[in-house]
Amino acid sequence: MNQEAMDPPVPATLLFIDDETNILSSLKRLFRPLGYTILTAESGAAALLILEQTRIDLVISDMRMPNMSGAEVLEKIRNQWPDVVRILLTGFSDISSTIAAINRGEIYRYIAKPWNDDDIVLVVRDALERKHLLAEKQRLETLTLRQYDALKELNASLENKVHERTVELHAALEQLKKDYFSTIQVFANLMELRKGSMAGFSRRVAQLCRELAQKMSIPESDIQTLETAALLHNMGAIGLPDNLLDKPYIALTYAERVEFDKHPLRAASALMALDPMLKVSELIRHHREHYSGAGNLATIHSDELSLGARILLVASDFVALQQGLFSRDKLSTEQALNMISSGSNTRYDPAVVDAFLNMMSHIGHFAPVAQEFQLKSSQLREGMLLEQDVLTANGMLLLLKGTTLSAHHIRELREYEQSSGEHLSLYTHTI
């Protein structure tokens, strides 16, 4: 450490205590030229009075004084001003008193009389230097502790801000996912508007795909991909002529069937340019491929068909059979299930068929029933949660199940009813 750092920042103040004026004079003559501020007291009581009024750095006290000994004075100073450095002047005959002073006053050093000037100057300089170092150490420790507390508080604040930001980002991400899926559903709904009998087709297929995939313990991320593929799996049919869309599949000529069967390839090609849709496009591309491989457009083996594509084919055919898209007659649920069962191991993956039949046998038996209310649009209030999708009479999707109604939603629903003359079916948990 350099000398500048070691020296006290201001001249030290020394207090000499002795009942002999010649001793005090000698000490003043010795230390005043060294730049110190010198004060003197001829008794312990006078010294204590000075200490009460003035900041003192170091005290040198004689041991033998009337009324109050040096040991007593230094003990009082230790109790009231512990930072003051305490030095005792004593004779060799006062060894027992010196020991008592050391113990009671916790003095820094004792100096025997008569003293050596160089020695006493060096002792005082060392004592003041040590005092300065201890004070600096205490200052740095206090500063470090204060900085630590400030850093700790800052860290806590940052952690709170990070947590708050993480919550905000999570909420934004969830809203983004919800908006993305809502957009997919709206797009699927727009595709189906071209042909009234197709209204709601993709949504029903998507719901069956999700339930079947959950039953088969497929990871949620893959289920979301499958659900998106189910909503968009017929988008390739947009470019087909009306005469193909207006006929059931069984009524199509061979050439028409070949043309119709290409729609999964068209849909996949339209989506493959979008990186987030690559897996979706692959599911759509292969969802009409037969498990046995017979009649497949692509030379693909059953083992190469993804489980999602196999699930999508079963769900899509099941809904199509009931909507009369295969034959001129709409099949009942039981008839459609029998058709799916008869195609096991040829058109359909037998594991998927078994899981599907098992699922359909339990639908409605163990599902929890939540209390819901059907309302008129005039009864809707902000904050209500939709229990079912809001659909028009021809199957067009207006609002999704799970939507929390806002004033804008309510206004749009009422305006739709007024312009169309149609009364919507609105279900909510809350009245």
pLDDT value at residue 49? 96
Which of 105-109, 151-155, 286-290, 399-403 comes out lowest in average pLDDT? 399-403
Residues 356, 217, single domain; the answer is yes
Helix (H, G, I), strand (E, B) or coil at 35: coil
pLDDT value at residue 38? 95
User: H/E element holding 189?
Assistant: helix 117-192
The domain in which residue 118 lies consists of: 3-138
From 103, 122, 138, the end of a domain falls on 138
The better pLDDT of the pair 278, 240 is held by 278
Residues 226, 353, single domain; the answer is yes
pLDDT value at residue 3? 43
Residues 335, 402, single domain; the answer is no
The better pLDDT of the pair 365, 84 is held by 84
Q: Is the pLDDT reported for residue 189 higher than 90?
A: no
Which of 82-96, 102-116, 174-188, 374-388 comes out lowest in average pLDDT? 174-188
| Average pLDDT, integer, range 362-370 | 47
Residues 50, 78, single domain; the answer is yes
For position 384, which CATH number holds? 3.90.105.10
Rounded to a whole number of angstroms, the CA Rg of the chain reads 47
Q: Is the pLDDT reported for residue 175 higher than 60?
A: yes
Which of 51-55, 73-77, 223-227, 397-401 comes out lowest in average pLDDT? 397-401
Tokens 């169309």 label which residue?
A: 420
If you write DSSP's letter for every residue of 110-131 in order, what string do you get?
Answer: EEESSPPHHHHHHHHHHHHHHH
pLDDT value at residue 117? 93
The better pLDDT of the pair 430, 96 is held by 96
If you write DSSP's letter for every residue of 324-391 in order, what string do you get?
Answer: TSSSSSPPPHHHHHHHHHHTBTTTB-HHHHHHHHHHHHHTTTSPPPPP-EEE-GGG--TT-BBSS-EE
pLDDT value at residue 365? 40
Strands 58-62 and 85-90: parallel
Residues 297, 321, single domain; the answer is yes
Q: pLDDT tens, 5-52? A: 444 457 899 999 999 999 999 999 999 999 999 999 999 999 999 999
| Average pLDDT, integer, range 247-276 | 79
Residues 326, 382, single domain; the answer is no
pLDDT value at residue 219? 92
- For residue 175, tell me if it sits in a domain: no
pLDDT band at 302 (very low <50, low <70, confident <90, very high): low
Residues 214, 354, single domain; the answer is yes
Question: How high is the mean pLDDT of the chain?
Answer: 81
Q: Is the pLDDT reported for residue 114 higher than 50?
A: yes
Instruction: Please tell me the chain's helix, strand, coil percentages from 3-state DSSP, rounded to the nearest 5.
Output: 60, 10, 30
Helix (H, G, I), strand (E, B) or coil at 15: strand
For position 363, which CATH number holds? 1.10.3210.10
pLDDT value at residue 198? 61
Q: pLDDT tens, 303-353? A: 678 898 899 999 989 988 888 888 778 888 888 899 899 988 888 999 999
pLDDT value at residue 197? 55
- For residue 259, tell me if it sits in a domain: yes
> 8-12 contacts: CB < 8 A, separation 24 or more?
8/57, 8/128, 8/131, 8/132, 11/35, 11/36, 11/37, 12/36, 12/37, 12/57, 12/58, 12/128
Residues 408, 350, single domain; the answer is no
Residues 213, 305, single domain; the answer is yes
| Average pLDDT, integer, range 180-207 | 68
Contact 95, 88 (CB under 8 A): no
Residues 212, 337, single domain; the answer is yes
**Cβ neighbours around 312 below 10 Å, total:** 29
- For residue 255, tell me if it sits in a domain: yes
Total domains in the fold of the chain? 3
Q: pLDDT tens, 123-154? A: 999 999 998 898 889 889 889 888 888 888 88
Its pTM stands at 0.53
The amino acid that residue 149 corresponds to is: D
Residues 215, 261, single domain; the answer is yes
pLDDT value at residue 135? 86
Residues 211, 303, single domain; the answer is yes
